[in-house]
Amino acid sequence: MDKNRFNQAENLIKKAASVENKTEVIKEAQEGIINVELFDKTLKDLIEADDFIYSSLPFHKLNLEESKLFTSKILDARENINGILSDFGVIEKPKSEEKISDLSHELLIITTKNNFKKSLIKLGINVQQIVVAGVPLKAEDMKKINPKIPDTALNGISKKIEHVQNDIIRKMDKMNLKYVLVVAEPDLNGNILGKRAKENYNAFVNLEKDLKDIKVDRLIELILCATQPN
Amino acid sequence: MECQNYGLNRSIERENLNLNPLQRGGVLSAAAREALYDFGDGYSVCDYCAGRLDEISKPSIGGFLEDLAKFINVDAVRTVHGAREGKFAIMHALCDNGDTIVLDGNAHYTSHLAAERNHLKMIEVPSTGSPEFEITPEKYQETLENALDTHGEIKLALLTHVDGNYGNLTNAKKIGKICQDAGVPLLLNCAYSMGRLPIDAKDLNVDFVVGSGHKSMAASGPIGVLGMKEEWGDKLLQKSPRHQKKEIEMLGCTSRGAPIATLMASLPHLIDRVSKWDDEVDKARNFVSQMEEIEGVMQVGLRPTNHDLVRFETPFFHEIAQKHSRRGFFLYEELKKRKIVGIKRGQTEWFKCSAYGMTEEQVDYIAASFKEIAEKSGN
Ligand SMILES: Cc1ncc(COP(=O)(O)O)c(C=O)c1O
């Protein structure tokens, strides 16, 4: 396993350890919707942890490094399970999730990739308040990304662009959203999207690497920047 | 109707070190376990099929087959339901009822059955016999030439790359050249090699290779691999005149669902592990030398071994079994107590085993356990 994953594991464990240790109240389940994505992720985290069962045969004893990796997978799974349980009111939403959902209630987030969207949802952003723009926000911007793009392809993309624009407006209207935050990677696509969103919606633009691993604190910081201009 | 209790649970592989050579190479990679969860339902890979399994783009079976062809260096490749189905299809496409083929004396029973089902006669290349049971290129050449003299034409020769009894790795390249020079297409049965060690079909001078996904390629069964030189595509991949997209020998579609999804997911893992094959051989040799410290235990087959499957003759344990209160079961039971399985119950005269994929510590633990049992039971 690479060093990056190892560090990630270590951070997770630290994070978990810093969570206050209160007794959990289990409530009766309410009606709810299964978050299938979270459910699948949970199983896959457990499958990754399952690998250690084979590598540690026959006594299943893990050394320190292995223990950290193994437990980080279990912690990931636990976090997902908690998310599913809280969707049914069986346990309370984690504090950070509640805080994020609170702070972001007037915010629309535009991002460029589905896996960023997943990370944002996992941290507590309402899925309805996210738009994934796989294309720029204006057809002419496409020429900046790919100057040689044939007109036929451009026509197809224009349709998608129109769809994204409508989506943004519809969501802002319907949910009464006042602020827009762009989170994307610092590449050409991200830059062009950011500029246009600033121009069109006065968006707060944040371009940074490794967005799918964005942490709670950083997200809160960005929400505050976007929703409390000045 | 109420069903019986089928006892459908299995923890043997997750609780014990399993020495059964049959099981070692088919243990799934983590990626394959995830794929198994996603693709467990029936025709799971067929959502976006336009009539040809090998051309499905989501999941990219077409892309996978291209990569697989590179992995074993063949011009065309298909997945089949097992090495045996691959052998059967090749024989069926190339030979006619009553034809004679040549194969090695260490060939797997499934090679015999594939030939029998095609109504073919077999001429066997004898091995050198005990203790090495080697299939030599010289003997292969002699047998092939005699067969050609007697029958005029031999439409197919088969060589077992690594046999399942002794783990002998044959000199496929040399035998491939012999067959090539004699104008006889050679089918290399790589059930025990493809996915464990690097295979380069062109370098080995062979026309066909078959592999076994569940035996050596970290995939859920049943799945096999059939690779060929371009010139055989016309025969083997001939399309049905009536269903023009479907290949006749493949019966239209071969492996679909969990078997192919797990094989696809495991390919990166296989690419990585075949590059470490030399370490596996070192581990096997180290295991043999530790086992042979027990007097009355010796490895048979080629020495030093070139494969993880090793066969031991064990008169030492057999002698103990004659007097032991648990008779032949003592070895199995003593191993089981130490969470080691895979040696058949009651078998003490000889056994074959493999520690493929295990760590050095695990191998040392197994060897130490055998020694401990020998010491305890021998007194
Ligand atoms: C040498 C050899 N060939 C073929 C097979 C059969 O492979 P499959 O189950 O994929 O048909 C085996 C299985 O034990 C084998 O050892």
Could you tell me how many CB contacts below 8 A there are between chain A and chain B? 36
| Whether residues B327 and B249 fall in one domain | no
Q: Is residue B30 part of a domain?
A: no
| Whether residues B268 and B280 fall in one domain | no
Q: Is residue B245 part of a domain?
A: yes
- B303 pLDDT above the threshold of 50: yes
Q: Is residue B158 part of a domain?
A: yes
For residues A139-163, give the mean pLDDT. Answer: 86
* Ligand 1 atom with the shortest distance to the CA of B107: 1
pLDDT at A10: 57
| Whether residues B344 and B321 fall in one domain | yes
| Whether residues B146 and B75 fall in one domain | yes
Number of domains in chain B: 2
| Whether residues B99 and B207 fall in one domain | yes
Distance CA B182, CA B155 (A): 11
| Whether residues B222 and B233 fall in one domain | yes
Closest CA to B355 of B266, B271, B281: B281
Put simply, whether the predicted model's pTM sits higher than 0.90 gets the answer no
**In which band, very low, low, confident or very high, does the pLDDT at A97 lie, cut at 50, 70 and 90?**
confident
| Whether residues B208 and B104 fall in one domain | yes
* Residues B51-108: tens digit of each pLDDT: 989 999 999 999 999 999 999 999 999 999 999 999 999 999 999 999 999 999 999 9
Q: Is residue B153 part of a domain?
A: yes
Q: Is B365 on the interface with A (CB under 8 A)?
A: yes
Q: Do A57 and B37 touch (CB under 8 A)?
A: no
Choose one of B79, B192, B194, B226 to mutate for the ligand 1 pocket test, by most ligand atoms within 8 angstroms of C-beta: B192
Q: Which residues of chain B make contact with A47, given a CB cutoff of 8 A? A: 30, 33-34, 37
Tell how far the Cα of B110 is from the centroid of ligand 1, in angstroms. Answer: 7
Structural domain harbouring B175:
39-273
For residues B138-160, give the mean pLDDT. Answer: 97
For residues B331-345, give the mean pLDDT. Answer: 96
Distance CA B83, CA B210 (A): 5
Q: Rg of the Cα trace of chain A?
A: 20
| Whether residues B118 and B209 fall in one domain | yes
- A157 pLDDT above the threshold of 60: yes
- A20 pLDDT above the threshold of 70: no
- A16 pLDDT above the threshold of 60: no
A176: helix, strand or coil: coil
DSSP state of A29: P
**In which band, very low, low, confident or very high, does the pLDDT at A8 lie, cut at 50, 70 and 90?**
low
CB B145 within 8 A of CB B184: no
| Whether residues B68 and B167 fall in one domain | yes
- Which member of B27, B34, B339 has the closest CB to residue A58? B339
CA A19 to chain centre: 21
Closest CA to B190 of B205, B177, B172, B209: B209
**In which band, very low, low, confident or very high, does the pLDDT at A17 lie, cut at 50, 70 and 90?**
very low
Q: Which residues of chain A make contact with B37, given a CB cutoff of 8 A? A: 40, 43-44, 47
Closest CA to B172 of B130, B216, B203, B146: B203
Strand partners, B157: B102, B186
- A168 pLDDT above the threshold of 70: yes
pLDDT at B378: 79
| Whether residues B247 and B357 fall in one domain | no
| Whether residues B248 and B339 fall in one domain | no
- A1 pLDDT above the threshold of 50: no
Q: Is B33 on the interface with A (CB under 8 A)?
A: yes
Residue finishing a domain among B244, B273, B302: B273
Share of chain B above pLDDT 90, in %: 98
Q: Is residue B7 part of a domain?
A: no
The residue ranking higher by pLDDT, A5 or B302, is B302
- A96 pLDDT above the threshold of 90: no
* Ligand 1 atom with the shortest distance to the CA of B215: 10
B105: domain CATH number is 3.40.640.10
| Whether residues B180 and B326 fall in one domain | no
Q: Is residue B3 part of a domain?
A: no
- B106 to chain A nearest CA, in Å? 32
Residue finishing a domain among B273, B299, B333: B273
For residues B20-32, give the mean pLDDT. Answer: 97
* Residues A56-71: tens digit of each pLDDT: 999 999 999 999 999 9
Q: Is residue B67 part of a domain?
A: yes
- Which member of B17, B33, B358 has the closest CB to residue A47? B33
Measured between its terminal Cα atoms, the distance across chain A in Å is 44
Residue finishing a domain among B273, B292, B308: B273
